[in-house]
Structure 1
Amino acid sequence: MEDAIHAKKIYRLFPIEQLLTEPFNALSKVSQLEVPVLYVHGDQDHDVPAYLSQRLYDASPEPKKIWFAHGADHNNIEMTQADAYAAVIESFYSAERFAKELQSA
C-alpha cells in the first residue's frame, strides 16, 4: 500500500508513514498463497501503477494469471473492457474448476 501511495506524486509529501501505523506488505505475503490468484489491472492506472501488480504476480505461486486492461484506469475496467474483463474472469474460473475436477477424479 505504501508503494502505491508513494508512486502517486501528489502524495509524496504527505506523511503516510504516520498514518499507516500497521502497514500491510502484500509483496511479502503473496508467496504464501495456497489458492489460485487472478490479478487484473488497468494499464492507464495513475493511482496504483501497473508494475505493482506485476511484482505481486511475479512473487505469487502457481496457479496464477495476470491481465492488463488496455486503456483502463483505476476504476473503469468494467466500463472500458467489459467483454474482455468478463472473458478473463470466466476463463480463469473455468480453468480452475477444471483443474479441481481432474484432481478429484
Structure 2
Amino acid sequence: MLKKTAALAQPEVSHLVRKLRHLSGLSQEQFAVTLGVAFSTINRWENGHMQPSPLALKQIKTMLGELSRSSVVELQEQSQTLLNQYFSETESSTQ
C-alpha cells in the first residue's frame, strides 16, 4: 500500500525531520524559521513528542524535492531516498 503523509508513525517522523534538517545543514532554530514554526516545535518533532501538521509535512516534502534537484550528488541521492521512503510514489512524482 502507498504511505500517506499524515499516516507516518512517530519514530518515522522523528527520523525524517532530523535527517532533512541535517541534510539542509540547519540548526533546529534555522529549520524552525524555514518552516515558519517555533524552535520548540522542531525539538518536539525530533524527540517524538509531537507530529507535524499536514501543512508542515507538505513543506518538508517540498524541501526534500528541492534538495533532490541539488547540484551536489550526495544531497540528491539522500533526499530522493527520504522521499521514496516516507512519501508515496504518486505524491513524489507530483513535485
Superposition TM-score, scaled by structure 2 size: 0.31
Superposition TM-score, scaled by structure 1 size: 0.29
Which is higher, the Rg of structure 1 or of structure 2? 1
Which is richer in helix? 2
Which is richer in strand? 1
Between 1 and 2, higher relative CO (CA 8 Å, sep ≥ 6) is seen in: 2
